[in-house]
Amino acid sequence: MFTGLIEEVGKVQSASLQSGDLILEVMAVKLSPEIKIGDSVNIDGACQTAVEVRADRFTVNTITETLRKTNLGNLRNGDPVNLELALRPDSRMGGHMVSGHIDCLGQVKTIRRIEGSWELEIGYPVEFDNLVVPKGSIAINGVSLTVTQAGPGLFGVSIIPHTWEMTNFPWLKPGDAVNLEFDLIGKYVQQIINPYRARQGNVDMETFRRAGF
């Protein structure tokens, strides 16, 4: 489990395909001393397992399924990646609950700077519309953010200067693919009410009461 607060922007040292998997070596001067073989590391939002660790870098083996659902397969030498280590029991929950399991890829539509902050518009598959709500949480490339506006297949977020500077967002440009993870609680709620929706065709407060809310 992660919080969506980036601890370091690492740098891809090598990215090579072996038997369909991606062997990814990432330089992380700050975090590598804390990483042990077998530890979970969130890389641009995707939970990965460290299989090799050196003083200033670590290596992960990204399987085909992860490559299919994320943008990790697009990484090249020198690319910056957002990094976060797994949450400890004594850690503060500064962002929101992030599992590291990517739901889908989004696409950067616009990037605007407004009065010192930045606004991003992200397109995504409309099948996930019911998981995107204004003021709700979302993780973009592993970064915990708040949805400011939502419409069919499109949502917006505002990014403060600190978050912008401490992530790989300055390298984003329109058209780029980004990893999206929707709010975990929202996904569980949807899973609970889906059987009621299928039987009744709509959802009201009585539906939630029968589901135990």
Asked if residue 139 is part of any domain, the answer here is yes
Q: Is residue 177 in a domain?
A: yes
Q: Tell me which of 87-101, 107-121, 126-140, 171-185 is least confident.
A: 87-101
78: CATH: 2.40.30.20
Report the distance separating Cα 39 and Cα 187, nearest Å: 26
Output the six-digit token pair for 171.
């390298």
Domain contains 150: yes
The residue range of the domain holding 191 is 104-198
Residue 144, domain member (yes or no): yes
The amino acid at 38: G
In this structure, is residue 96 part of a structural domain?
A: no
Residue 66 lies in a domain: yes
32-83 pLDDT, tens per residue? 999 999 999 999 999 999 999 999 999 999 999 999 999 999 999 999 999 9
Residue 108, phi then psi, degrees to nearest 5: -65, 120
| Cβ partners under 8 Å of residue 78, min gap 6 | 11, 12
Q: Is 23 a residue whose pLDDT tops 90?
A: yes
Domain-embedded: residue 3: no
- Give tens-digit pLDDT for 1-18: 999 999 999 999 999 999
Which of 85, 115, 137 represents a domain boundary (last residue)?
85
Task: Examine residue 207 and state whether it is found in any structural domain, yes or no.
Answer: no
